[in-house]
Structure 1
Amino acid sequence: MSSSQRSDRHQAKPGGKGLHPKNLHKQGYDFPSLVKSYPALAPYVKANAFGNLSVEFTDPQAVKLLNAAHLKHYYGIVDWDIPEGALCPPIPGRADYIHHVAELLGEFEPFANRASTQPEITLLDIGTGANGVYPILACQMYRWQCVGSDINARSLENVAGVIANNPTLKDRFTLRMQNDRHKIFDGVIRKGEFFDVSVCNPPFHASQDEALKSSQLKLQNLARNRGETRPVAASQALNFGGQEAELWCKGGERMFLKKLIKESQVFATQCRWFTSLVSKVDNVKPSTKLIRKLGATDVREIEMKQGNKVTRVLAWTYA
């Protein structure tokens, strides 16, 4: 088999809820420790129907504070916040993505265990949003040099505030505005610049209506798990987190991935590995087919598990 035909499915070893073995969150939520580190979370932590401590995951404020507590307790990040309505990605799953990327790059140990002579890893986050979570985690877990790009100036302003309040991020996390919403890498990667890896959490849906229906279904499933039968209001679903460009774009995830992959070929010599989350399994095959057609030398599907949820990272290189 030629190098251009190689393909591997990588899966994390069993650990806790299926998270990566190096993931600090693999044993579940430690609410007493989180509350101790971040007291603002305390009013939102209550015993659920099974007698276990939890938060109301349909409450955007509770979810946001849970994320802030995770970032403070495990990663030393202070004053993390996002504007109302912005996407609030769960920290355990996002940390998993970075750990898998580290393996992809051969970076098996956190920064403290690396030899001082090892070159620094550079990461580009496409669509870093108002949360900036991927670069924040990469900086704190592995001390990588990171760039976050976005088409939303307000989102970048919010992340800039977080960076300004955290000295460990100031020299490692920089932001770039993508002024053309029809482009991804073009206008962000500069001439003569090289990245070890790019990461991306693509918009899932093709329209606001599709995103709304998905959020309503998600909330109804959460309510059903608690034994509730009340309907979910549209306003509540809209507050679940995520705005335009974060949750939806023309053509949805499949079209975004197609654009991402095509543009990656143009920057093949300036990024070692291109990666992206793929939320819909039906989008993996056509994306992989296009990647091979464009001449990638290695394509990998990395499977990530958190409880019963399975997500995938598609990774490819032209090197």
Structure 2
Amino acid sequence: MSTKQTASKNKLHPRNKHKSNYDFDLLCSLIPELKPYVFINQYNNQTIDFSNNQAVLLLNKSLLIANYGLSFWDIPSGSLCPPIPGRADYIHYLADLLKETNNNKIPHKEVINVLDIGTGANCIYPIIGASQYNWKFVGTDVNDPSITSAKNIVQQNNALFEKVEIRKQLSTHSIFSGVIKENEKFDLTLCNPPFHSSEKEATKGSQRKWNNLNKNKKPISNSQLNFGGTSNELWCQGGEMSFIHKMIKESRLFSSQILWFTCLVSKKEHIRPLQLTLKKANCVQVKVVKMEQGHKTNRFIAWSFLSPEQVNQWRDDRFNN
């Protein structure tokens, strides 16, 4: 890995397992199918072609087995295959968010309940959160193949079996309603929302990604541009802003059942309008957390309807009863 690439990885969260160079010898010993895709780059380091879907899939599989206690992981063809380091960063920064409202200590002994909106076929966030912090997860999705895949991952891994539950969201118009049970409480919600407003916009995004990864290669057809992701994972009417606005509106109905609502925000120009929407929704606490990942900065927005005093009461009720 080049000095530039190493510096980029060092920007990851301090507890992120992927801050160091990938040990491809170890990863290939765990998943031998990965070996043909590994090569020596111009900096004399082992790597893969990150524009190759199969290579990325096998890398993810090996990373999850090597670092998160899994014995099995696979996803259906065409499903979103996310970069593991970035997903891990979200989890670690969420742990820091809980730390702020837990006497500056990351809660490990207590049972932390997390709701993952749109868990997808990959089930990435529950895998990382359960392994790193022993959190319990409810993962939701509207897509039947994604539900089947996520349940299969949970059922085939003892490390997840008692920590992760997958629920079907029956309504495409709801986010929290229909999946949160009466009197059920969650310490966190997390979400990686669909960024694009249409299939056309998503295709343009894939073309940009291809161009960035393959600056010296010839253009390819739209059919070859799929980096993974079903329609509900990549786009929705109105795009990211519409989705998060709907999430904020609906979150008011569950203001006493959830400590922190959080959601990734892909574009920094969306932050200010979302903050104004949260203010109008009478949120008591709003935070924007930046995450340095590679050559870009990601962020998530977090909001709570509970005051610091009510948070203390929440902790007492959750952990002392």
TM-score normalised to the size of structure 2? 0.89
Are 2:187 and 1:196 aligned? yes
Q: Any stretches of 5+ residues in structure 2 without a counterpart?
A: 1-6, 307-321
Give the aligned partner of residue 3 of structure 1. Answer: none
- Identical residues among aligned pairs (%): 45
The alpha-carbon distance between structure 1 residues 16 and 86, as it changes in their structure 2 partners (threshold 3 A), is closer
8 Å CA contact 1:123, 1:196 repeated in 2: yes
The alpha-carbon distance between structure 1 residues 293 and 28, as it changes in their structure 2 partners (threshold 3 A), is farther
**Superposed counterparts of 1:7-18, under 5 Å:** 16-18=9-11
Amino acid in structure 2 at the alignment position of 1:59: N
**Among 83, 86, 93, the residue aligned to 1:93:** 86
Are 2:19 and 1:26 aligned? yes
Give the aligned partner of residue 150 of structure 2. Answer: 159
Give the aligned partner of residue 134 of structure 1. Answer: 125
Are 2:114 and 1:123 aligned? yes
Question: 1:270-308: CA deviations, max 9, x gaps?
Answer: 110000100111111111111111111111111111121
Amino acid in structure 1 at the alignment position of 2:237: K
Offset, 1:58: 1.0
Amino acid in structure 2 at the alignment position of 1:176: R
8 Å CA contact 2:8, 2:295 repeated in 1: no
Amino acid in structure 1 at the alignment position of 2:15: K
Are 2:249 and 1:262 aligned? yes
With 99-108 and 55-64 compared, the bigger mean Cα shift is at 99-108
Greater relative CO (CA pairs within 8 A, separation 6+)? 1
**Superposed counterparts of 1:171-186, under 5 Å:** 171-186=162-177
Give the aligned partner of residue 5 of structure 1. Answer: none
Q: How many residues align?
A: 297
Are 2:21 and 1:42 aligned? no
What CA distance in whole angstroms lies between the structure 1 residues aligned with 2:70 and 2:305?
35
Amino acid in structure 1 at the alignment position of 2:271: V
Question: 1:212-261: CA deviations, max 9, x gaps?
Answer: 1110110111101xxx14113211112x1111110000000010010011
**Among 283, 286, 292, the residue aligned to 1:299:** 286
What CA distance in whole angstroms lies between the structure 2 residues aligned with 1:145 and 1:60?
30
The alpha-carbon distance between structure 1 residues 110 and 233, as it changes in their structure 2 partners (threshold 3 A), is farther
Are 2:134 and 1:147 aligned? no
**Among 213, 219, 222, the residue aligned to 2:213:** 222
**Among 269, 272, 280, the residue aligned to 1:282:** 269
RMSD value, Cα: 1.6
SS of aligned partner of 1:245: helix
SS of aligned partner of 1:272: strand
**Among 302, 305, 308, the residue aligned to 1:315:** 302
What CA distance in whole angstroms lies between the structure 2 residues aligned with 1:232 and 1:277?
30
8 Å CA contact 2:117, 2:140 repeated in 1: yes
SS of aligned partner of 1:105: helix
SS of aligned partner of 2:234: coil
8 Å CA contact 1:125, 1:148 repeated in 2: yes
TM-score normalised to the size of structure 1? 0.90
